[in-house]
Amino acid sequence: MAKARSQFSPTLTPKRPMTEVIAADGAALSQELQAMRQALFPPVSQKTLRSFSSVESAKLIGIADAYLRQLSLNGKGPQPAISPGGRRSYTLDQINEIRAVLDENSKGKRYVPHRRGDEHCQVMAVLNFKGGSGKTTTAAHLAQYLALQGHRVLAVDLDPQASLTALHGYQPEYDIGSNETMYAAIRYDEQRRPLSDVVRKTYIPGLDLVPGNLELMEFEHDTPRALAERSAEPFFGRVASALGTVSDNYDVMVLDCPPQLGFLTLGALCASTGLLITAHPQMLDVMSMCQFLLMTSDLLSVVQDSGGDLDYDFIRYVVTRYEPSDGPQTQVVGFMRSLFRERVLTNHMLKSTAISDAGLSKQTLYEVGRENFSKNTYDRAMESLDAVNGEIESLIRQAWGRAA
Ligand SMILES: Nc1ncnc2c1ncn2[C@@H]1O[C@H](COP(=O)(O)OP(=O)(O)O)[C@@H](O)[C@H]1O
Ligand SMILES: [Mg+2]
């Protein structure tokens, strides 16, 4: 009996403290990820944006391919690179130059979409407190789509898990130092820095990034103390104030929110002019979204009573990872549409291996060329992304008072 028991008694060799194990696992994983990234994107050849075929370029500019060719032949605007096979391609910088050239001569249509006059900077918060509802995928594709269309875009990573940052070629725990995230610009102590100090250019012309990392969590810890002291600007205005200091440089800002309703998310809600609530159309996700909405409205009414600004140009539900052939999903979408009506975007983001595969190599589908996938898979995914993002862009244009 005694013998049998000793088999199960705790071993006498001292156990490694759990914190040490977790720290070591974290360090090992981080090192491995860094090595994988170096192999994928060697430091000498930083991530760059591919160039676009003449068909893609003409579509991005909004003119016919033949007209684009004519412009180049007439020596108007930049000259495309020509492959040995005779294919013309343009960089995004060149596409933007062509837009400007067209605007010089055009009387009606404008090709450079920058906001002007009293059109206000549009701030889109992408949120839902469910992880995996497609927030980061939606935010990254929207930000890049808008930059490809010629907008000046600031993407802001408010999630300590920093997937948006990783998608743009930075490994959060290696490449982003302390005081180099949004936290730097909203912290309550004397180490606060202007947001412009932490904004980084990306490899996509027109797209800047405020990166994130775990340091963002500090804001959740600091805020209760600051609330008790009642001295500083309240938490809900701080993200808005920080963004306000750089908003002259941008047409649209896209905020990728953390999967929780903490102080950062509330800050984002107060800074936004438009809300995009992502929803994977499954019953459990919709039930969780129900709690999210109820909690959000409770919290927002408290914020509003304390003077927070909560005026939105629009609120839209974005159906993500949608599989139209899945009956129950279609039912959930129908159910959402009957409840929320025009607040559900007409177009849905389809589930596609092209999108998840691109994600595996830390890319959006806009970065990956069509040659990397079966044409059907690529086209279907791209069509759905363009439709969703185009719909959001037209809401932005309407908020500016332009024709949709
Ligand atoms: N439309 C889609 N098709 C296929 N996979 C998708 C799609 N949208 C998101 N995913 C995948 O689902 C996972 C979660 O998406 P993500 O955007 O990171 O969600 P969240 O930011 O809400 O946690 C990721 O692995 C992503 O690649
Ligand atoms: Mg995310």
CATH number assigned to the domain comprising residue 254: 3.40.50.300
List pLDDT tens digits, range 83-94: 999 999 999 999
117: left (phi over 0), alpha (psi -120 to 50) or beta: left
pLDDT of residue 323: 97
In a domain, 151, yes or no: yes
Which band of pLDDT confidence, cut at 50, 70 and 90, is reported for residue 27? Answer: confident
Q: With 90 as the cut, is the pLDDT of residue 39 above it?
A: no
Q: With 90 as the cut, is the pLDDT of residue 109 above it?
A: no
Amino acid at 383: E
Contact 137, 381 (CB under 8 A): no
pLDDT of residue 8: 53
The residue whose CB lies within 8 Å of the most ligand 1 atoms, and thus the one to mutate among 321, 329, 361, is 321
Ligand 1 site, residue 202, Cβ cutoff 6 A: no
Which band of pLDDT confidence, cut at 50, 70 and 90, is reported for residue 24? Answer: confident
pLDDT of residue 11: 55
List pLDDT tens digits, range 281-327: 998 888 888 888 888 888 888 888 888 777 899 999 999 999 999 99
Residues 82 and 171 in one domain: no
Residues 137 and 97 in one domain: no
Q: How far apart are CA 134 and CA 355, in angstroms?
A: 11
Nearest ligand to the CA of 132 is 1
pLDDT of residue 13: 63
Residues 95 and 239 in one domain: no
Place of tokens 């609530």: 277
Ligand 1 site, residue 289, Cβ cutoff 6 A: no
CA-CA distances (angstroms) from residue 56 to 129, 333, 345, 357?
36, 32, 25, 21
Nearest ligand to the CA of 137 is 1
Ligand 1 site, residue 359, Cβ cutoff 6 A: yes
Ligand 1 site, residue 133, Cβ cutoff 6 A: yes
Ligand 1 atom at minimum distance from 140 CA: 17
Place of tokens 């837009």: 99
Residues 136 and 69 in one domain: no
pLDDT of residue 1: 44
Ligand 1 site, residue 134, Cβ cutoff 6 A: yes
Nearest CA to ligand 1 atom 13: 132
Which band of pLDDT confidence, cut at 50, 70 and 90, is reported for residue 257? Answer: very high
List pLDDT tens digits, range 199-221: 999 999 999 999 999 999 999 99
Place of tokens 């998608």: 167
pLDDT of residue 292: 85
In the predicted model, what is the mean pLDDT of residues 62-76?
92
Centre of ligand 1 to C-alpha 144, Å, is 16
User: Can you give the pTM of this predicted structure?
Assistant: 0.90
pLDDT of residue 403: 82
Residues 92 and 134 in one domain: no
Angle, in degrees to the nearest 10, between helices 65-73 and 92-105: 80
Nearest CA to ligand 1 atom 25: 356
pLDDT of residue 283: 86
Q: With 90 as the cut, is the pLDDT of residue 394 above it?
A: yes
In a domain, 228, yes or no: yes
Centre of ligand 1 to C-alpha 391, Å, is 20
In a domain, 46, yes or no: no
In a domain, 308, yes or no: yes
Q: How many distinct structural domains can be found in the chain? A: 2
Which residues 6+ apart lie within 8 Å of 173 measured at CB?
30, 213, 214
Percent share of the chain, pLDDT over 70: 95
Ligand 1 site, residue 306, Cβ cutoff 6 A: no
pLDDT of residue 41: 62
Domain of residue 380: give its range.
122-399
Percent share of the chain, pLDDT over 90: 70
CATH number assigned to the domain comprising residue 64: 1.10.1660.10
In the predicted model, what is the mean pLDDT of residues 271-283?
94
pLDDT of residue 21: 81
In a domain, 117, yes or no: no
pLDDT of residue 45: 47
In a domain, 45, yes or no: no
pLDDT of residue 43: 55
Contact 173, 217 (CB under 8 A): no
Ligand 1 atom at minimum distance from 359 CA: 27
Residues 87 and 188 in one domain: no
Nearest CA to ligand 1 atom 5: 356
Residues 290 and 340 in one domain: yes
Which residues 6+ apart lie within 8 Å of 91 measured at CB?
49, 51, 52, 205
Residues 71 and 138 in one domain: no
Centre of ligand 1 to C-alpha 133, Å, is 7
The residue whose CB lies within 8 Å of the most ligand 1 atoms, and thus the one to mutate among 260, 352, 356, is 356
- Averaged pLDDT of the chain: 91
Nearest ligand to the CA of 357 is 1
Residues 229 and 327 in one domain: yes
Residues 226 and 100 in one domain: no
Residues 145 and 100 in one domain: no
Q: With 70 as the cut, is the pLDDT of residue 5 above it?
A: no
In a domain, 41, yes or no: no
Nearest CA to ligand 1 atom 15: 134
In the predicted model, what is the mean pLDDT of residues 44-59?
86
In a domain, 16, yes or no: no
Q: How far apart are CA 380 and CA 374, in angstroms?
A: 10
List pLDDT tens digits, range 124-180: 999 998 889 999 999 999 999 999 999 999 999 999 999 999 999 898 988 999 999
Residues 393 and 298 in one domain: yes
pLDDT of residue 14: 65
Nearest CA to ligand 1 atom 9: 134
Q: With 80 as the cut, is the pLDDT of residue 38 above it?
A: no
Q: With 70 as the cut, is the pLDDT of residue 12 above it?
A: no
Q: With 80 as the cut, is the pLDDT of residue 355 above it?
A: yes
